[in-house]
Amino acid sequence: MIRMIARLLLSALAFTLLFPIIHGMDFHGNFAQALILSVVFAIMLWLVDLVALAVSAALTISTLGLALLWLIPLWILGFWLLPAVALKVVSCLMPERLTIDGWLPAILGGLVMLFISMITSGITWRANRRA
């Protein structure tokens, strides 16, 4: 619960403070709207992960495991692209709040969101380790 709240707050701060710094990415709104956008981003990231996992499973099953020869390196090299795809989907769903001009700003914003996810996961991991 603490991790989720921290991730939503940090994501909202990223929408309001960091994303306007990235050239080609604009957020239009206040902090409350950034919180709503953070929730929508979290749902879209979950859906993007779910679709990527379903496609991977279908390819693995249909090729009797041979697709793993290129799926595993693809996952290792491309896991950081999933938040960028989720940001692009959010910008398509809510263009009045978030506009992204191209894939490079989306990738930079996705890296910011990935970093936020890594930070909040580390906070709860240390808290669970002490308990």
Instruction: Decide if 130 is inside a domain.
Output: no
Instruction: Decide if 75 is inside a domain.
Output: yes
The candidate with the shortest Cα–Cα distance to 89, out of 117, 70, 113, 71, is 113
For the whole model, what pTM was predicted? 0.85
Instruction: Decide if 83 is inside a domain.
Output: yes
The candidate with the shortest Cα–Cα distance to 92, out of 40, 49, 34, 50, is 40
Residue numbers of the domain that contains 45: 2-125
Instruction: Decide if 131 is inside a domain.
Output: no
The candidate with the shortest Cα–Cα distance to 15, out of 113, 82, 111, is 113
Instruction: Decide if 84 is inside a domain.
Output: yes
Low-confidence ranges of the chain (pLDDT < 70): 123-131
pLDDT of residue 78: 86
